[in-house]
Structure 1
Amino acid sequence: MGQGVLFKDNNGPVHIETDRRVARSSVLGKLIEIIATAEPALVDLTREPAEIEKKIQFNDLTTHRWIIQQYVENALLVDSSVTQLNKMVNSGSTKLKRQMKLFYWQALAQFGISNFPDDLQKLKTHSDNVVAKVLTLTGDFVRSSSDLQSGYFDEDIEFGVVLITSYSIIECIVLENPNDHN
């Protein structure tokens, strides 16, 4: 009998990782530090948000519509938290939006959505799946962050992930702004 693992009827990639590495310096890691501390190019990620209901309808968001409601109910908490983030981290909200945009693009790629405005109908078909993927990517990223030490409940993390994602939708970082497609 041979060694290895057999996945019967597997339709996707399987990645099993055993981490036996010792943390070492790397050129790639050093480059990431340089990029992270550099003055960012003046890319304006602030956009004139669309009216909320118009955006929901434009993107055909249905099953994840409740995420928007979470933002509406907690807008003051989100806004004050983003203000505090900017005080703690230079260009914190810009870095947050940039990361959420990356999650959005990864989610779009998973569903083969890449060419706007041609793929707009495909986005509308998969908008709820795209939001679900952004939630998953955000949650996984946050849970693996070394900044989150013990003492935080999973419920707090889940709530925060929903608020961050809803903020990104409202700010037109995740999903499309109808004002851009007129």
Structure 2
Amino acid sequence: MTIVNEGNNPPVNKTIKVDRNAGNIIIGNSPEYEISSAINELLKSLANKPFTFKKNRRRPSSETVVKIQHNNLKAKSHIIKQYLDHSSKVEEAYSEIDSLITFGKATILQNLNDLYFLALDAVEIDYLICDIDIAKVRENSEFILEFIIQRLKNTVFESKNTPAYKEHVELGVNVVVAHAFIECIIMENPADDS
């Protein structure tokens, strides 16, 4: 690519080298920025729910504690705590999404499940021809969860209907991912291994 400057300045050469690519390379604004996202509607709905900060802590259920231990997610326990503080609002928001977007909740949960399998692909954990190796999941659990969170944030920021405040995105994504964890949409369910 050569960029020619006006005036006495010599042309500037900029080279982009792409060794391997599976998709479009877009320089400038992507068309994705013009499309709305179901997850953003959910985050906006969550952000509009009244919330009062309370210092007292709600404890997770024993099943949630077992699942955290089973998946070795102690380093990401803060998102479970955030979810516990907002759990009733998540279900309300999902109900609202289903009234706004046909199969809105199912679409979001399917997307989260797909992100989980993309994360498993990223750490080379097989799931098609054999049972998921829980030892490998446990070894990579922090990366897997961070992968899902980051990909979800990318979707949020690259969509037309992005929430107005960064804090709403950060908290909302964490709460939605934690909900998916508790509902066994992502990560492994200890009950499946018995």
Q: Which residue of 1 aligns with 2:15?
A: 4
Specify the SS of the correspondent of 1:103.
Answer: helix
Query: In structure 2, which of residues 78, 83, 98 is the aligned counterpart of residue 66 of structure 1?
Result: 78
- Is it true that 1:165 corresponds to 2:177 in the alignment? yes
2:66 aligns with one of 46, 49, 54: 54
Query: Which AA in structure 1 matches 2:147?
Result: K
Verify the 8 A CA contact 1:59 1:127 in the aligned structure 2: yes
Aligned equivalents of 2:177 and 2:30: distance in 1? Answer: 33
In 1, Cα distance between equivalents of 2:167 and 2:106: 26
Is contact 2:180-2:186 (8 Å) kept? yes
CA-atom RMSD in angstroms = 3.1
Q: TM-score, normalised by structure 2?
A: 0.68
Distance apart, 1:60 and its partner CA? 0.8
- Pairs aligned (count): 151
Contact residue 67 and residue 189 of structure 2 kept, 8 A: yes
Note the C-alpha offset of 1:4: 2.2
TM superposition shift of 1:22: 8.7
User: Residue 26 of structure 2 is aligned with which of 13, 17, 24?
Assistant: 17
After TM superposition, give the deviation of residue 63 of structure 1 in Å: 1.1
In 1, the alpha carbon distance for the partners of 2:162 and 2:31 equals 22
| C-alpha separation in 2, matches of 1:85 and 1:171 | 18
Query: Where do 4+ consecutive residues of structure 1 move more than 6 Å?
Result: 20-23
> Could you tell me how far 1:113 is from its partner in structure 2?
1.1
* 5+ long unaligned stretches in structure 2: 1-12, 33-60
* Match of residue 100, structure 1, among 93, 106, 112: 112
Q: Is the 8 A contact 1:117 1:181 kept in 2?
A: no
Task: Answer yes or no: is the 8 Å Cα contact 2:125–2:132 preserved in 1.
Answer: no
Percent sequence identity over matched residues? Answer: 23
Structure 1 stretches of 5 or more lacking a match?
Answer: 24-48
